Amino acid sequence: MVATENYIQEADRFEAVKAYAVKDLTPQWRMIEAALESTGYLAGSRLSAADIFLMMFAVWADGSLPGFLDVFPRTRTFMEMVGARPAIAAIFERHKSGAWSD
């Protein structure tokens, strides 16, 4: 989510850019946390395309922002719930392996 090397050339500034991103994204993730409160999904009581899209962003954030899921526990629960679905689990397993060229 925050691939600082794509935005700045000075490696010594990467951490500062990440810190700014966390500060900048926190209000949006707080809204997401609130939306997940009632059903665990974004748009109602069933999985939707919005949830799959959110899953992608949550995986990116978790991978690039240390402690992300500690700050947003509903997002962690959401990722576990959505990630447990066999079709979604297969997609993310393929993502982890880097096997997108098959």
Tokens of 100: 């997108």
Say if 5 falls within a structural domain: no
Q: Is the model more confident about 99 or about 83?
A: 83
Say if 2 falls within a structural domain: no
37: domain CATH number? 1.20.1050.10
> Which position has the token pair 């954030």?
61
Give per-residue pLDDT as tens, 15-43: 777 777 777 788 889 999 999 999 999 99
Q: Rounded to whole angstroms, how far apart are CA atoms 87 and 74?
A: 21
Say if 36 falls within a structural domain: yes
Q: Rounded to whole angstroms, how far apart are CA atoms 101 and 9?
A: 29
Give per-residue pLDDT as tens, 34-71: 999 999 999 989 999 999 999 988 988 888 777 888 99
Give per-residue pLDDT as tens, 77-94: 999 999 999 999 998 888
What's the domain count of the chain?
Answer: 1
pLDDT of residue 34: 95
Q: 8 in the Ramachandran plot: left (φ > 0), alpha (ψ -120 to 50) or beta? A: beta
pLDDT of residue 99: 62
Tokens of 75: 């997002």
Domain housing 15: 11-97
**Which of the 8 DSSP states describes residue 8?**
-
Closest by Cα among 100, 9, 83, 51 to 17? 9
